[in-house]
Structure 1
């Protein structure tokens, strides 16, 4: 359904996304993980050309065989909401504060399906019920809902036109653990029942492991490891993935709960990246070759790949 090839996004001399490639089929869930500033959201928004005019995007984004990066604006507008939609990070800022939530859900339905207002409102009521928000509240405004309810409303909007693809950018950020679990269960049910494809972005590996079949870990604008979610977290091949996994305490393990491992240093500034592995300055096992040799994704097991020289040399554990 979706095929991304050599995607690059730059803002002037700073390249925020560098050579990202992946595929997604119907009914599949792909998680994208990494620290803040690694390029996750930039990559996701570039798929539907939602970045500002200052961004320069190259590569190919094939959706149902059609390259969205070269599609005419009229065609792109037809794809947005109707075939592919986005659950934005921060529902309060994404929702219009002066319009009722029912009207906002109805808008893409009326635009793309050209049905009557009555039919659109009926569909909006069904969507609200489906995501656990009482349909009678369709006439309320965003500020009258809790954070978790607003996030559910954003999911209802994303589903309004029955898309084949949903890009969820940090859909559970700032939610308590109970509401987070409900949102994840809702998304999982939608994938199973509707067969939609989901790209889910998060800094939380535990959330992605619960929700997604596959993971792609990003660092400094590149994918540094990919593979089945549970395998990747249980046995990471890239030092960065290993550090992310160890930063989360393990339930029932007092040692990890009392002293979870962190990651020294800070992510690099994109404008300062040079040759070699971008993670080398923070990697305990880096050597001189890591700082000079070009690094790419190499096979690291069945259906897995990692951008690490140790993998290429067969030394990854």
Structure 2
């Protein structure tokens, strides 16, 4: 499955895929009003997601990953300006009514937020917080909602006898499991997981990732996973989208993107992780100097040009699009263009 260019004019080969997509994002822009001017945070993101698909979103802090994810369900504050199209089962969530959007947010798509302790209400029991969306959206009795809440907690490894406990009475990993149970409360077709395993130990992380994998296999739930951990995405997601300065700069099958990156930024990210068993890699990981540009500082040409070791003058002035970079792959780098003379 491929994406559109940054201009988001659909590629002819995508017509059949996007027509049957669960989620079809087209030319998504998110900007904020700051100091009397508009500052772009997400600049023309496009991708499609079918039922049962898993898409990983990677990139440094400040590249627009979480902003993009929140934009899908219009979860930004009043100062944000969101444009483009977010077609969920063919319905544009950016233009639908608030009442309809409110229903989609739980029954169609739900979010596992980063930092469960800050996302959960500290003065309400876990049971109350899981039951609320079930009663609201599924119109069932309180007794039925409580029964389903107990089943959900058991399914994520939290004993249902603890459902009347408060968030602070659980460990970090258990709170994250509670968040997943809440996300599943109304049987959504899409889960957006924003750093779902942040600050968890590796054993708990593995258990939560296996839980998400089971949901994909058994219920055909589609998952968008956002994290800094490329190795995690490689093992849990079918496809990987790499973001930089508010745009997707590379997209393709996860293992191919990491093993044979086409964009210099993706290559730098993959080299930043030391290789187990390789002393040279462990003692001197490649890394990448500098930081991504501030959203207000992004100009013409490739936003990565200032940090790229392969930059040319055309990179600084040319229009960067997602060009085909192999079967099911695309990259926003001039070196993948056929008229450039080869791939990067």
Asked whether the two chains share a fold, i.e. TM above 0.5, the reply is yes
| Structure 1 CA distance for aligned equivalents of residues 304 and 341 of structure 2 | 19
CA deviation after TM superposition for structure 1 residue 314, in Å:
4.1
* Equivalent residue number for residue 133 of structure 1: 158
Pick the aligned partner of 2:183 from 155, 158, 166: 158
Could you report, residue by residue, the CA deviation over 1:7-65 in whole angstroms, capped at 9, with x for unpaired residues?
A: 00111221000010000000010001000010000000011110001000000000000
Taking a change above 3 Å as real, the CA distance of residues 147 and 314 of structure 1, as seen in their structure-2 partners, is: farther
Query: Structure 2 length normalisation: TM-score?
Result: 0.91
* 2:33 paired with 1:8: no
SS in 1 for 2:107: coil
| Alpha-carbon distance in structure 2 between the residues aligned to 1:221 and 1:83 | 26
2:87 partner SS: strand
Give the superposed CA RMSD: 0.8
Displacement after TM superposition at 1:250 (Å)? 1.4
Task: Give CA deviations for 1:165-186 in whole Å, capped at 9, x if unaligned.
Answer: 1000110111111111111111
Report 1:209-228 matches (<5 A): 209-228=234-253
1:41 aligns with 2:62: no
Q: 1:107 aligns with which of 121, 128, 132?
A: 132
Residue of structure 2 in register with 1:181 after alignment: 206
2:145 equivalent in structure 1: 120
Q: What is the match of residue 203 of structure 1?
A: 228
Which ranges of structure 2 fall in alignment gaps of 5 or more residues?
Answer: 1-21
Q: Please give the alpha-carbon distance, in whole angstroms, between the structure 1 residues aligned to 2:239 and 2:118.
A: 29
Name the structure 1 match of 2:6: none
Count of aligned pairs between the two proteins? 317
SS of match in other structure, 1:80: helix
In 1: Cα distance, 2:300 partner to 2:222 partner: 35
User: d(CA) in 2 for partners of 1:293 and 1:113?
Assistant: 51
The structure 1 segments of at least 4 consecutive aligned residues displaced by more than 6 Å after TM superposition are: none
The 2-side partners of 1:255 and 1:281 are apart by 27
Distance in 2 between residues matched to 1:119 and 1:250, nearest whole Å: 50
Name the residue aligned to 2:4. Answer: none
Pair 1:316-2:337 in alignment: no
Alignment pair present for 1:29 and 2:57: no
Residues 174-214 of structure 1 show CA distances to partners (whole Å, capped at 9, x for unaligned) of: 11111111111110011001001111111111111111000
Q: Distance in 2 between matches of 1:93 and 1:315?
A: 48
